[in-house]
């Protein structure tokens, strides 16, 4: 048999086998009474990608009338937040108002979501739910397809998240401060233990939470994932104050995307209870032309802009009317001999503005070691300074009743033990 003949015989048997199989399949799947229809190719099952919460939420930029919720998703999504009063009603009792993740009149598509919830009442607890739809296709003007909606659970024993707005009329404020975590997530988690029972108004991250910011994952792995599981789960907002290390890294200029402020700058202020809080940015620690900054640092110029803002703040009616004043500052008022350039420059600018304005205490970090300075003991200041270490937290309670003000600062270690205490009165 030549090769042509062998090929023809093989093709004959192969086709016969294929036809037989097709007939057998059709006979097995079609009832005898069913009309014969042309077979269409089987469509692949439609599988929509599922958008899910990646990290979050965390809440910041809280005032008496608004808060901002942030979180990330595993894929690009269009997101919104639904909000309900804390009135005991079931979430599905009524249509809850929606606040969209939007920018200049358009809904934002992406993995980082930032939703500003406005029009709220002071000192009021609100429940909120994260909602999102996956971006299945974004061909711009041609076609945009959003996928199925997904939200954080509110039934079957799952409670929505909650947060309380600030309240300048109450007579107390309590908060924790951590600093210089430098991505030691396990230390951070230890320090956040018991937050659900502490009934705090907020937690402050006072700088150097990361050693630099090269990408989003560094913040997530370093502290933010744990922050959402502890601080946000307890219904507590976060106020971020930048340290010198957050000036570094290719992602450093994205910090305010993750922790927006009321000023749009790294310095800002707010009032909770009887206390006016000043969040002072310190800038870099070395001269701007230091070789390690690669010509990118303009800290001194930024500090000078900040000083102009600070002058206006301390002369404002809101500042003067507050019974108590607490300054949050990552660096420490400068020692004329031992302090580095950045600390010296910042002190020259800020401390003369703060002196004489009724600052009750300044809370600092930066040195990775606890210390305490009475008023006048450090950097020509007329207020006391508590410097927290890199492995403890400050637990602060402020009150103002009967014309008398009191601030208690405990330094608490990772086991929950109070290792130092300071009491200030006014
Ligand atoms: Fe530092």
Q: Is the pLDDT of residue 8 over 50?
A: no
Q: How far is the CA of 283 from the centre of ligand 1 (A)?
A: 10
- What was the pLDDT predicted at 228? 97
Give the separation between CA 101 and CA 117, rounded to whole angstroms: 10
**Burial classification of residue 280, based on how many CB atoms lie within 10 Å of its CB (0-12 exposed, 13-18 middle, 19 or more buried):** buried
Neighbouring C-alpha atoms within 13 Å toward the C-beta of 103: 8
Answer whether the bond into residue 292 is a cis peptide, omega within 30°.
Answer: no
Q: How far is the CA of 211 from the centre of ligand 1 (A)?
A: 9
Give the separation between CA 292 and CA 302, rounded to whole angstroms: 18
Identify the band that residue 175 occupies on the pLDDT scale cut at 50, 70 and 90: very high
Q: How far is the CA of 188 from the centre of ligand 1 (A)?
A: 16
Identify the band that residue 376 occupies on the pLDDT scale cut at 50, 70 and 90: very high
Among the residue ranges 39-43, 129-133, 346-350, the one predicted with the least confidence is 39-43
Q: How far is the CA of 385 from the centre of ligand 1 (A)?
A: 16
Q: How far is the CA of 263 from the centre of ligand 1 (A)?
A: 23
Residue 270 neighbours by CB distance under 10 Å: 20
Residue from 315, 361, 331, 351 nearest 173 by CA: 361
User: For 152-201, where are the E strands, in sequence order?
Assistant: 161-164, 172-178
Q: How far is the CA of 387 from the centre of ligand 1 (A)?
A: 12
The DSSP code sequence of 104-139 is TTEE-EEEEEEEEE-SPPTT-EEEEEEEEEEEEEE-
Q: How far is the CA of 181 from the centre of ligand 1 (A)?
A: 10
Q: How far is the CA of 252 from the centre of ligand 1 (A)?
A: 15
Residue 123 neighbours by CB distance under 10 Å: 16
- CATH fit for domain 172-425, picks 3.60.21.10, 3.90.1300.10, 3.10.20.600, 3.30.70.2740: 3.60.21.10
Q: How far is the CA of 420 from the centre of ligand 1 (A)?
A: 21
Q: How far is the CA of 241 from the centre of ligand 1 (A)?
A: 11
Q: How far is the CA of 100 from the centre of ligand 1 (A)?
A: 36
Cα angle: 328, vertex 330, 336; to 5 degrees = 110
Q: How far is the CA of 136 from the centre of ligand 1 (A)?
A: 43
- What was the pLDDT predicted at 49? 66
Q: How far is the CA of 262 from the centre of ligand 1 (A)?
A: 24
Identify the band that residue 156 occupies on the pLDDT scale cut at 50, 70 and 90: confident
Q: How far is the CA of 246 from the centre of ligand 1 (A)?
A: 9
- What was the pLDDT predicted at 46? 61
The residue ranges of every structural domain in the chain are: 53-164, 172-425
- Show Cβ contacts of residue 332 under 8 Å, excluding neighbours closer than 6 positions: 339, 343, 364, 366, 367, 378, 379, 385, 387
Burial call 339-352: b when 16+ CB within 10 Å, e when fewer: bbbbbbbbbebbbe
Among the residue ranges 43-52, 134-143, 300-309, the one predicted with the least confidence is 43-52
Q: How far is the CA of 151 from the centre of ligand 1 (A)?
A: 38
Q: How far is the CA of 308 from the centre of ligand 1 (A)?
A: 23
Identify the band that residue 157 occupies on the pLDDT scale cut at 50, 70 and 90: confident
- What was the pLDDT predicted at 285? 93
Q: How far is the CA of 62 from the centre of ligand 1 (A)?
A: 25
Q: How far is the CA of 390 from the centre of ligand 1 (A)?
A: 10
CB 229 within 8 A of CB 353: no
Q: Is the pLDDT of residue 94 over 50?
A: yes
- What was the pLDDT predicted at 148? 81
| pLDDT digits 0-9 by tens, 232-275 | 999 999 999 999 999 999 999 999 999 999 999 999 999 999 99
Quick one: CA torsion of 257, 261, 265, 271, rounded to 10 degrees?
-170
Share of the chain above pLDDT 90, in %: 85
Q: What is the mean pLDDT of residues 145-170?
A: 92
Token pair in block for residue 93: 């009792």
Q: How far is the CA of 367 from the centre of ligand 1 (A)?
A: 7
Q: How far is the CA of 166 from the centre of ligand 1 (A)?
A: 29
Residue from 2, 166, 137 nearest 75 by CA: 137
- What was the pLDDT predicted at 38? 60
Name the phi and psi angles at 237, rounded to 5.
-80, 170
Q: How far apart are the first and last CA of the chain?
A: 112
Q: How far is the CA of 247 from the centre of ligand 1 (A)?
A: 10
Token pair in block for residue 159: 């409670």
Query: What is the Cα gyration radius of the chain?
Result: 29
| pLDDT digits 0-9 by tens, 30-56 | 444 555 556 666 766 666 668 999 999
Q: How far is the CA of 207 from the centre of ligand 1 (A)?
A: 7
- What was the pLDDT predicted at 190? 98
Q: How far is the CA of 183 from the centre of ligand 1 (A)?
A: 13
The third-level CATH classification (topology) of the domain covering 53-164 is: Immunoglobulin-like (2.60.40)
State how far Cα 342 lies from the chain centre. Answer: 27
| pLDDT digits 0-9 by tens, 185-205 | 999 999 999 999 998 999 999
Q: How far is the CA of 63 from the centre of ligand 1 (A)?
A: 27
Q: How far is the CA of 334 from the centre of ligand 1 (A)?
A: 13
Q: How far is the CA of 30 from the centre of ligand 1 (A)?
A: 75
Q: How far is the CA of 60 from the centre of ligand 1 (A)?
A: 22
Check residue 410 and report its DSSP letter: E
- Show Cβ contacts of residue 264 under 8 Å, excluding neighbours closer than 6 positions: 256
Residue from 343, 342, 212 nearest 288 by CA: 342
Q: How far is the CA of 422 from the centre of ligand 1 (A)?
A: 23
Sign of the CA dihedral running 247, 252, 255, 256: positive
Mean pLDDT of the chain: 91
- Show Cβ contacts of residue 249 under 8 Å, excluding neighbours closer than 6 positions: 210, 212, 213, 214, 218
Q: How far is the CA of 7 from the centre of ligand 1 (A)?
A: 80
Token pair in block for residue 347: 């002190």
């Amino acid at each position: 048999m030549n090769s042509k003949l062998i090929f023809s015989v093989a093709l004959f048997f192969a086709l016969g086998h294929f036809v037989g199989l097709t007939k057998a399949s059709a006979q097995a799947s079609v009832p005898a009474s069913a009309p014969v229809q042309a077979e269409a190719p089987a469509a692949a099952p439609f599988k929509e990608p599922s958008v899910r919460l990646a990290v979050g939420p965390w809440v910041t930029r809280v005032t008496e009338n608004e808060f901002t919720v942030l979180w990330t998703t595993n894929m690009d999504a269009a997101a919104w937040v639904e909000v309900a009063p804390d009135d005991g009603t079931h979430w599905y009792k009524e249509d809850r108002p929606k606040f969209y993740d939007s920018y200049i009149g358009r809904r934002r598509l992406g993995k980082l979501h930032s939703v500003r919830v406005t029009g709220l009442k002071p000192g009021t607890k609100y429940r909120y739910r994260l909602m999102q739809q996956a971006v299945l296709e974004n061909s711009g003007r041609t076609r945009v397809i959003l996928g199925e909606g997904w939200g954080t659970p509110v039934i079957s024993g799952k409670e929505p998240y909650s947060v309380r707005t600030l309240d300048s009329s109450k007579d107390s404020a309590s908060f924790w401060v951590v600093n210089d975590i430098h991505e030691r997530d396990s230390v951070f988690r230890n320090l956040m233990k018991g937050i659900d029972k502490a009934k705090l108004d907020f937690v402050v991250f006072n700088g150097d939470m990361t050693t630099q910011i090269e990408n989003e994952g560094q913040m997530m792995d370093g502290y933010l994932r744990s922050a959402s599981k502890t601080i946000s789960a307890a219904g507590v907002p976060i106020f971020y104050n930048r340290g010198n290390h957050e000036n570094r890294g290719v992602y450093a200029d994205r910090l305010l995307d993750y922790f927006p402020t009321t000023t749009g700058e790294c310095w800002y202020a707010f009032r909770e209870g009887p206390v006016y809080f000043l969040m002072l940015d310190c800038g870099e620690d070395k001269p701007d032309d230091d070789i390690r900054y690669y010509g990118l640092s303009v800290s001194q110029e930024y500090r000078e802009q900040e000083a102009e803002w600070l002058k206006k703040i301390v002369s404002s009616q809101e500042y003067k009317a507050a019974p108590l004043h607490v300054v949050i500052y990552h660096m420490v008022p400068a020692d004329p001999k031992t302090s580095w350039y950045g600390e010296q420059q910042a002190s020259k600018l800020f401390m003369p503005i703060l002196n004489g304005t009724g600052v009750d205490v300044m809370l600092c970090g930066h040195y990775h070691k606890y210390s305490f300075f009475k008023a006048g003991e450090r950097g020509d200041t007329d207020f006391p300074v508590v410097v927290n270490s890199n492995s403890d937290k400050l637990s602060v309670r402020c009150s103002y009743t009967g014309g008398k003000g009191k601030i208690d600062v405990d330094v608490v270690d990772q086991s929950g033990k109070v290792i130092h205490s300071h009491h200030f009165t006014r």
